[in-house]
């Protein structure tokens, strides 16, 4: 599960080239995650990445619109997580 979290955080990391992150999304798109929350976050990141940066604010809004307001976007985005 920690690997999934690390992977999702890397997709939000704007210091990595966007094209590289899009390729990572494509390699993982067909597989599922061990946690339903991680799967939900992945789907939102995939949708957001195609139209710009994935920020805490954009991810939080997207998750809320999808019906998941309780998922904390700060757990996944660099600017919201000082552990990066």
Q: Which pLDDT score is estimated for 79?
A: 62
The 10s digit of each residue's pLDDT in 26-72 is: 888 767 888 999 999 999 999 999 888 899 999 999 999 999 999 99
Q: CA dist 36 to 41, 49, 73, Å?
A: 9, 20, 15
Instruction: Provide the domain count of the chain.
Output: 1
Q: How far apart are CA 68 and CA 23, in angstroms?
A: 26
Quickly state the pLDDT bin for 83 (edges 50, 70, 90).
very low
Q: Which pLDDT score is estimated for 78?
A: 67
Q: Which domain holds residue 64?
A: 2-80
Quickly state the pLDDT bin for 82 (edges 50, 70, 90).
very low
Q: Where are the alpha helices (DSSP H) in the chain?
A: 2-12, 18-28, 36-49, 56-65
pLDDT over 70 percentage in the chain: 90
């Amino acid at each position: 599960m920690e690997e999934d979290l690390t992977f999702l955080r890397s997709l939000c990391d704007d210091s990595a080239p966007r094209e590289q992150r899009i390729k990572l999304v494509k390699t993982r798109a067909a597989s599922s995650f061990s946690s339903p929350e991680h799967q939900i976050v992945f789907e939102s990141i995939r949708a957001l990445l195609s139209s710009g940066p994935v920020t805490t604010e954009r991810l939080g809004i997207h998750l809320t619109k999808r019906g998941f307001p309780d998922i904390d976007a700060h757990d996944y985005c660099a600017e919201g997580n000082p552990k990066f």
